[in-house]
């Protein structure tokens, strides 16, 4: 059941309440949490009756708290502090999903957090565990949970490299998981190919009868050239529904024996997979009959589209294609035409479409066939803006206006806008006409030239981006306000190598860059909008982009785990 948008204001109210909870707890308990019949008596003495959250039924409050949890789990913890009734309703919601940390799996956790452990036993259904935590502690927590529906197991790369690694098979109770029909989700599994006595390592580590989702880690050297160990795991995991395969560069592919066939996947993501399967091989070894989400990133898309039956892709709801054909004859135009045919004539109802194509070979009638269902549209051209002397094909503003008039559900939009190929005001007005749109990413070319002499203090790309942002804010149509607008200048990326020509090197030494990124965001709590410039991670820095990304994720994850571990009133 979806909740009305008006509930989105509650986090701000709750946050303000908890900020002053020591000062206002008593009055709030008598006011907002007073019995409903008392509130009704007061209505007779007031011209404008006061509405209270406590007037709502427990069922409706539970739905509100569930929405708050989906936004930020700390909002549910805040709600628990407001009054006893809210606390009792929110406890099962707060503990439904448990992220394990060192503190909660420690031997003495029962002494420090006895009430939290009781709530875990009674209310937890889903557990997130890391491979570097104490296995005895994880097992102790899992075995006390009455209804264990799922375990999300995250491999930690540092633990893999150090040898301090614990496996799902070490900590899962077979009788408990069989009784509860527990589902196992494995994330960040290192990609290895084992031989000899270790060839069944994956099968020994992971209970295949529980495995429903497998997401591989982004690989680090040395890279594997054979995928036999992973293939045997996939062939044995007949309940598997989700596979995310992650490799580097050109990548490799599975080599199948005649009798081997993968399980029918619902969600498939292939990154750097060298798809060279023939139509006969696909028919024999792959099963796309149940697929609803397909992502092909750095994959030779033409090879894929030329070997798969389009009829089996009819139920796709999510489609993401980023071609990689550097090692092949350039078949991107043919791939674009095949992709257009698939989207226009075979797929029934897409909700998310993210593709990089040759824009002028992808007519918009394919998009219009999904006008009633599409909520996210990201349409890029292969040309891009990495070189200032190449013009990027751009959707005609008349076509964009037609999309806006028909696509009433699009909330997220990403497009290229080359000012040479379009009328910028008309193009931007068409963007503003999407009635449900709240998140926009716009790719543009730098206004600078490599030999240009810039005056001190001048920032032409920033000025141009600010004018674009002001135009978009001023001309937004519909009742849905902007949440986020990103102006990506000159092919900016979070991890990138700057332009390599000598003139641009000299400009970079002066602090002038062709690649910039400006973001306008609305604060969900205050409603205020602010602009910031994103900072790229330069390739010349000591840490590799992959390592920096991992470090950032690790730091954020630890903080979240501590926050979600338990509320102060349970200690």
Q: CA torsion sign, 376 to 382 to 388 to 389? A: negative
Check whether 96 has a pLDDT greater than 50.
yes
- Give SS3 for 1: coil
Q: What angle do CA 36, 53, 479 make, to 5 degrees?
A: 140
| Contact in structure between 98 and 119 (CB atoms under 8 Å) | no
| Contact in structure between 481 and 522 (CB atoms under 8 Å) | yes
Q: Which region, left, alpha or beta, applies to residue 195 given φ > 0 means left and ψ of -120 to 50 means alpha?
A: beta
Q: What is the largest CA-CA distance in the chain?
A: 84
Q: Where are the domains of the chain?
A: 5-90, 386-396+407-534
Q: How many CA atoms lie within 13 A of 496 on its CB side?
A: 17
Q: What is the pLDDT of residue 30?
A: 43
Rounded Cα–Cα distance for residues 110 and 127 (Å): 18
For 442-496, what is each residue's pLDDT tens digit?
A: 999 999 988 888 888 889 999 999 999 999 999 999 899 999 999 999 999 988 8
Q: In this predicted model, which residue has the larger pLDDT, 2 or 423?
A: 423
For 331-366, what is each residue's pLDDT tens digit?
A: 899 999 999 999 999 999 999 999 999 999 999 999
Q: In this predicted model, which residue has the larger pLDDT, 200 or 163?
A: 200
- Give SS3 for 24: helix
Check whether 19 has a pLDDT greater than 60.
no
Query: pTM for this structure?
Result: 0.82
Rounded Cα–Cα distance for residues 538 and 498 (Å): 8
Q: What is the pLDDT of residue 198?
A: 66
| Contact in structure between 407 and 377 (CB atoms under 8 Å) | yes
| Confidence category of residue 43, pLDDT binned at 50, 70, 90 | very low
- Give SS3 for 447: coil
Q: What is the pLDDT of residue 197?
A: 61
Rounded Cα–Cα distance for residues 61 and 303 (Å): 51
- 303-307, 382-386, 543-547: lowest mean pLDDT where? 543-547
Rounded Cα–Cα distance for residues 297 and 294 (Å): 10
Torsion (CA) 355, 359, 365, 371 in degrees, nearest 10: 40
For 514-553, what is each residue's pLDDT tens digit?
A: 899 999 999 987 889 999 999 988 765 433 334 444 444 4
Q: What is the pLDDT of residue 558?
A: 39
- Average pLDDT of the residues of the chain: 84
Check whether 152 has a pLDDT greater than 90.
yes
| Contact in structure between 137 and 98 (CB atoms under 8 Å) | no
For 234-291, what is each residue's pLDDT tens digit?
A: 999 999 999 999 988 778 899 999 999 999 999 999 999 999 999 999 999 999 999 9
Q: What is the pLDDT of residue 12?
A: 47
């Amino acid at each position: 059941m979806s909740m009305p948008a008006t509930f989105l204001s509650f986090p701000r109210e709750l946050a303000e309440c908890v900020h002053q909870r020591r000062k206002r707890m008593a009055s709030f308990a008598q006011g907002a949490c007073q019995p409903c019949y008392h509130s009704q008596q007061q209505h007779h003495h007031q011209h404008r009756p006061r509405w209270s959250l406590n007037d709502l039924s427990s069922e409706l409050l539970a739905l509100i708290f569930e929405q708050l949890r989906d936004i930020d789990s700390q909002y549910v913890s805040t709600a628990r502090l407001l009054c006893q009734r809210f606390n009792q309703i929110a406890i099962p919601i707060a503990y439904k999903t448990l992220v394990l940390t060192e503190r909660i799996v420690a031997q003495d956790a029962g002494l420090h957090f006895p009430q939290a452990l009781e709530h875990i036993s009674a209310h937890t259904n889903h557990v997130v565990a890391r491979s570097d935590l104490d296995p005895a502690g994880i097992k102790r927590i899992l075995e006390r949970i009455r209804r264990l529906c799922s375990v999300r197991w995250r491999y930690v790369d540092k633990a893999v490299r150090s040898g301090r690694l614990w496996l799902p098979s070490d900590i899962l109770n077979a009788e408990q998981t069989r009784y509860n029909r527990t589902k196992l989700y494995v994330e960040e599994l290192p990609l290895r190919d084992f031989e000899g006595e270790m060839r069944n390592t994956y099968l020994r580590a992971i209970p295949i009868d529980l495995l429903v989702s497998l997401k591989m880690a982004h690989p680090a050297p040395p890279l594997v050239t054979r995928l036999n160990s992973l293939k045997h795991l996939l062939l044995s995991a007949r309940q598997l529904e989700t596979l995310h395969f992650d490799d580097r560069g050109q990548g490799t592919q599975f080599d199948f024996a005649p009798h081997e066939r993968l399980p029918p996947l619902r969600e498939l993501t292939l990154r750097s997979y060298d798809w060279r399967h023939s139509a006969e091989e696909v028919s024999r070894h792959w099963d796309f009959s149940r697929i609803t989400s397909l992502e092909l990133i750095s994959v030779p898309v033409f090879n894929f589209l030329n070997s798969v039956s389009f009829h089996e892709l009819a139920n796709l709801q999510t489609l993401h294609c980023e071609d990689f054909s550097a090692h092949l004859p350039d078949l991107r135009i043919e791939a674009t035409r095949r992709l257009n045919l698939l989207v226009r004539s075979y797929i029934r109802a897409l909700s998310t479409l993210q593709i990089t194509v040759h824009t002028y070979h992808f007519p918009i009638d394919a998009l219009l066939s999904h006008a009633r269902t599409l909520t996210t549209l990201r349409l890029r051209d292969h040309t891009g803006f990495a070189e200032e002397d190449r013009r990027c094909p751009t959707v005609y503003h008349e076509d964009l206006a037609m999309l806006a008039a028909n696509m009433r559900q699009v909330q997220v939009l990403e497009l290229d806008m080359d000012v040479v190929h379009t009328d910028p005001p008309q193009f931007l007005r068409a963007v503003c006409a999407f009635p449900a749109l709240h998140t926009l990413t716009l790719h543009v070319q730098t206004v600078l030239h490599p030999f240009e002499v810039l005056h001190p203090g001048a920032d032409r790309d920033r000025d141009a981006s600010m004018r674009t942002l002001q135009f978009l804010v001023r001309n937004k149509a519909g009742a849905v306000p902007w949440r986020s607008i990103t102006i990506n200048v000159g092919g900016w990326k979070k991890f990138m190598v700057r332009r390599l020509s000598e003139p641009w090197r000299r400009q970079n030494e002066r602090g002038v860059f062709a690649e910039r990124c400006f973001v306008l965001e609305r604060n969900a709590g205050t409603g205020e909008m602010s602009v910031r410039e994103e900072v790229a991670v330069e390739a010349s820095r000591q840490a590799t982009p992959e390592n920096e990304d991992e470090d950032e994720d690790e730091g954020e994850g630890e903080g979240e785990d501590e926050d979600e571990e338990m509320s102060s009133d349970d200690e």
